[in-house]
């Protein structure tokens, strides 16, 4: 009988499932959204019928419903060989994916203070799959793990050292599963091995981060203690002056209100006053909406500055690599960003930028460019499925 690998990705209000066969080919994927809300809904990708979910369905109900739906459609004939979970925060404990046992669960729980929106739902997903498939091995892959190779100069804040020692205050970095995929895929496309390949990897989705990767290892990254630091994002501010917190408090805002604004009402949404969606922003800007044009401008300028900053960690650069919904699809953002980086020798080819994908290996740099520039679709689920298969084979 064919054996599959199930990948579970729990967001704060969503649950995504992906099913792979033993050769890492994707068999099916499914998603439940707006969980714990009145209008929770679910669907199987490529299937026209929505999957019924009860109102206010939680992660456990969503998992049960989607697994039954996959079974009904003959997409999951038997229990999977193993299950891989995406977990946002692994603190300093996890440098790679691990088989889940009670110690691992306890540590994920201990890290929940650093990722209060994410680690508890990942644990809910692990619990739900354990109930549904009690005898199936499960693994956890961490968004932070890939960045555990950062040196102290990159991960320490310039704060009293007791904050790190006593409270674990440091830069952790996120999107590590995606950046790891980019490091490997870029090396493959460049005809090199990951261990000899150095890239700058920009993951530009609703959340955005950029990582310097030296000889296959993460050496600097833009996100920090939390996924709020760094680039401008859909609804997150990215870098602001730390003095802002005291100033906003002096204007009467509470800690919760400041947190809410910086995480959910800032970024592209905050600047444009309209939307966090880059595609919609581009349309608005084309129709003369100036705040939307400004949001795109600020997004690209901050990104360009970070590309420059990431160069400080590298002794050579094999490629700048772009991914995520914006990185993969927005030729406008790519063009605008790279236009700020001519002094460093980046030169985009306008035609290849418009039609990337028609050209080999997603390359969009002009013949004059000092460095290759690649557009590569990320595949975090595949990384997790491969890690799950590897750990189970070795166990």
Active site members = 143
Pick the closer one to ligand AMP by CB: 90 or 205.
205
Both tokens of residue 69? 């739906």
CA distance 54 to 39: 9
DSSP single-letter state for residue 365: B
* Residues of this chain that bind ligand AMP (CB under 6 A): 205-206, 234, 277-279, 282, 324-326, 329-330
- 392: how many CB neighbours lie within 10 A of its CB? 18
Torsion of CA 243, 246, 251, 252, to 10 degrees: 150
CB 84 within 8 A of CB 6: yes
Shortest Cβ distance from residue 278 to ligand AMP (Å)?
4
- State the binding site for Mg(2+): 9, 380
Pick the closer one to ligand AMP by CB: 308 or 377.
377
Nearest to 373 by CA among 179, 176, 181, 200: 200
- State the binding site: 9, 16, 86, 203-207, 277-279, 325-329, 380
Pick the closer one to ligand AMP by CB: 194 or 325.
325
Q: Which residue is nearest to ligand AMP (CB)?
A: 325
CA distance 138 to 194: 27
- State the binding site for substrate: 86
Pick the closer one to ligand AMP by CB: 41 or 164.
41
- State the binding site for ATP: 16, 203-207, 277-279, 325-329
Q: How far is CA 290 from CA 30, 209, 282, 297, 298, in A?
A: 38, 26, 11, 10, 12
Question: Whose structure tokens read 């691992």?
Answer: 104
Both tokens of residue 305? 């500055």
> DSSP secondary structure string, 135-190?
TS-EEEEETTGGGGG--HHHH--SS-HHHHHHH--S-----HHHHHHHHHHHHHHH
Pick the closer one to ligand AMP by CB: 104 or 278.
278
CA distance 69 to 51: 7
């Amino acid at each position: 009988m064919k054996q599959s690998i199930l990948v579970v990705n729990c967001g704060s209000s969503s649950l995504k499932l992906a099913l792979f066969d033993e050769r890492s080919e994707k068999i099916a994927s499914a998603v439940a959204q707006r969980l714990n809300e009145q209008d929770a809904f679910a669907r199987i990708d490529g299937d026209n019928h929505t999957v019924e979910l009860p109102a206010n369905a939680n992660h456990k109900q969503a998992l049960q419903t989607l697994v039954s739906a996959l079974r009904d459609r003959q997409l999951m004939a038997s229990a999977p060989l193993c299950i891989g979970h995406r977990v946002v925060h692994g603190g300093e404990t996890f440098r790679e994916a691990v088989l889940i046992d009670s110690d691992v669960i306890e540590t994920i729980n201990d890290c929940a203070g650093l990722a209060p929106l994410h680690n508890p739902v990942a644990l809910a997903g692990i619990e739900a799959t354990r109930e549904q498939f009690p005898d199936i091995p499960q693994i956890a892959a961490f968004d932070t793990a890939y960045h555990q190779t950062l040196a102290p100069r990159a991960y320490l804040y310039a704060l009293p050292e007791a904050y790190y020692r006593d409270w674990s205050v440091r830069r952790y970095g996120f999107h590590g599963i995606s950046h790891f995929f980019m490091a490997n895929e870029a090396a493959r496309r460049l005809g090199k091995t990951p261990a000899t390949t150095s890239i700058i990897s920009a993951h530009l989705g609703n959340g955005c981060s950029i990582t310097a990767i030296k000889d296959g290892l993460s050496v600097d990254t833009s996100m920090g203690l939390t996924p709020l630091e760094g680039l401008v994002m859909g609804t997150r501010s990215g870098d602001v002056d730390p003095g802002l917190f005291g100033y906003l408090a002096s204007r009467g805002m509470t800690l919760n209100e400041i947190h809410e604004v910086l995480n959910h009402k800032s970024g592209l949404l905050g600047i444009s006053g309209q939307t966090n969606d880059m595609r919609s922003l581009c349309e608005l800007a084309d129709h003369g909406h100036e705040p939307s044009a400004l949001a795109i401008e600020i997004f690209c300028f901050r990104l360009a500055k970070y590309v420059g900053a990431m160069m400080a960690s590298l002794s050579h650069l094999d490629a700048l690599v772009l991914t995520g919904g914006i990185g993969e699809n927005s030729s406008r953002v790519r063009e605008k960003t790279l236009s700020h980086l001519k002094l460093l020798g980046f030169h985009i080819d306008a035609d290849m930028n418009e039609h990337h994908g028609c050209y080999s290996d997603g390359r969009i740099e002009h013949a004059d460019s000092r460095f290759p520039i690649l557009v590569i679709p990320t595949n975090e689920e595949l990384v997790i499925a491969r890690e799950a298969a590897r750990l189970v084979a070795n166990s």
